[in-house]
Amino acid sequence: MKLKDLGEFGLIKRLAETISINDAQVVAGIGDDAAVIKVDGPKLTLFTTDSLIEDVHFTRPALSAYQIGWKALAVNLSDIAAMGGVPEHGLVSIGLPSQTSVDFVDSLYQGIKDLSDKFKVNIVGGDTVSSPQLIVNISLLGEVEEEYLALRSGAKAGDKVLVTGDLGGSAAHRLAGKHLSPQPRVEEGRAIVKRLWPTSMIDISDGLASDLGRICESSQVGAKIWLEKIPVSEKTRQMSEQLGEDFVRLALEGGEDYELLFTAQRVPELTSEMDVSLTVIGEITDQKGKLSLIDKERKSHPLKSKGYEHFEENRF
Ligand code: ADP
Ligand code: MG
């Protein structure tokens, strides 16, 4: 069997069966946005890693060195945010072709530095190797109070499904050959866990449909999403139209929006204190594994849990 037959998620499942986590300190291992470890003291430690690989996650020069550095840290911060946590310390490993200019590396590090300063993350080490293509891997430690920890696994039938910001913008920009620098929702994640007591949370890295599917899988529930409620900005709608793309599809499957998707039992006044908008887009059901999209006429369509997947041959 080849990796393309197994798929990224099939492979991770298989690896998870090989690795046995056998430690009372591990609160959550493989299967969430970050691992959760109980070390000492009242808070839980969060631990996550993500890589950006040239020609897989970005091409040069479409993404500048600065943007590559920024994004490599942003995707990790987004995973800490999805747990309700505060990021703390990071390690940066880079693989570089030997012809790379020093200016390029300086700029890449400036991108990492500006974002790490913004969120007060200390870069405490890393690794440097030569590589045929550019690779940036970042690992991050963070922390979260036990009562604020948000896992993917707690959604219950009747919970509302909410999302921060708007969706599809990243895919529309990518298709138009432009790039956005993702803004990880760290502060928003903290505000959500403190005020809305989410029953589950994930960051949207692969697309709403796919990442909602992961919440449903972990929580053993289903979900229905109201198509009209999916927040898509006017700019994204216009860009999609110019590109001949369906903005709903970009919002559902485009990925890389790095917004937070979460479920909550009650949705009190949708906090005007937060800089970013929050939108109720659907509801959790007890129909395990079933995702539906409800259109304007209230017709229900099956929603495939589809998004970006590594090893797939026909990529989005
Ligand atoms: P995210 O998109 O939030 O970064 P991923 O889809 O990359 O999450 O990973 C899903 C889960 O699988 C995470 O808990 C991650 O730690 C775990 N995982 C991914 N790759 C591996 C691997 N090679 N070995 C062990 N665990 C892995
Ligand atoms: Mg994630």
- Split at pLDDT 50, 70, 90, the class of 273 is low
Q: What is the pLDDT of residues 122-131, one digit of tens each?
A: 999 999 999 9
Torsion of CA 54, 248, 261, 153, to 10 degrees: -90
Q: What is the pLDDT of residues 97-111, one digit of tens each?
A: 999 999 999 999 999
Q: State yes or no: pLDDT of 292 exceeds 50.
A: yes
Burial class from Cβ neighbours inside 10 Å (0-12, 13-18, 19+) for residue 210 reads buried
**Does domain 151-302 fall into CATH 3.90.650.10?**
yes
**Cβ atoms of 169 and 181 closer than 8 Å:** no
Ligand 2 (single-atom ion) residues, CB below 5 Å: 33, 79, 203, 205
State how far the Cα of 31 lies from the Cα of 29, in Å rounded to an integer. 6
Give me the pLDDT at residue 272, please: 62
Q: What is the pLDDT of residues 193-207, one digit of tens each?
A: 999 999 999 999 999
Residue nearest to atom 8 of ligand 1 (CA): 33
**Which ligand 1 atom lies nearest to the CA of residue 34?**
14
Give me the pLDDT at residue 312, please: 65
Distances (CA, A) of 94 to 23, 138, 184: 31, 9, 21
Peptide bond into 132 cis (omega under 30): no
Please name the residue ranges forming H helices in the chain.
3-18, 65-81, 102-118, 169-175, 186-195, 208-219, 234-243, 247-253
Amino acid, single-letter form, for residue 173 = H
Mean pLDDT of 88-95: 98
Q: Is the pTM of this model over 0.85?
A: yes
Give the distance (Å) from ligand 1 centre to CA of residue 80. 13
Give the distance (Å) from ligand 1 centre to CA of residue 259. 18
Q: State yes or no: pLDDT of 316 exceeds 60.
A: no
State how far the Cα of 187 lies from the Cα of 193, in Å rounded to an integer. 10
Range of lowest pLDDT (73-77, 106-110, 255-259, 264-268): 264-268
Residue nearest to atom 22 of ligand 1 (CA): 12
- Is the CB of 257 inside a 6 Å radius of any atom of ligand 1? no
Q: State yes or no: pLDDT of 18 exceeds 90.
A: no
Give, in degrees to the nearest 5, the angle at Cα 139 between 135 and 140: 145
Burial class from Cβ neighbours inside 10 Å (0-12, 13-18, 19+) for residue 10 reads middle
**Cβ atoms of 155 and 216 closer than 8 Å:** yes
Q: State yes or no: pLDDT of 271 exceeds 80.
A: no
- Is the CB of 54 inside a 6 Å radius of any atom of ligand 1? no
Q: What is the pLDDT of residues 202-237, one digit of tens each?
A: 999 999 999 999 999 999 999 999 999 999 999 999
Give me the pLDDT at residue 135, please: 98
- Is the CB of 39 inside a 6 Å radius of any atom of ligand 1? no
Q: What is the pLDDT of residues 146-157, one digit of tens each?
A: 999 999 999 999
State how far the Cα of 255 lies from the Cα of 171, in Å rounded to an integer. 7
State how far the Cα of 18 lies from the Cα of 131, in Å rounded to an integer. 28
Domain range annotation of the chain: 3-147, 151-302
Higher pLDDT: 24 or 263? It is 263
Helix-strand-coil split of the chain, %, nearest 5: 30, 25, 40
Looking at the CA of 210, which ligand is closest? 1
DSSP letter assigned to residue 269: S
* Fold (topology level) of 3-147: 60s Ribosomal Protein L30; Chain: A; (3.30.1330)
Give me the pLDDT at residue 270, please: 60
Mean pLDDT of 35-40: 93
Q: How far apart are the first and last CA of the chain?
A: 23
Q: What is the mean pLDDT of the chain?
A: 93
Q: State yes or no: pLDDT of 315 exceeds 50.
A: no
- Split at pLDDT 50, 70, 90, the class of 314 is very low
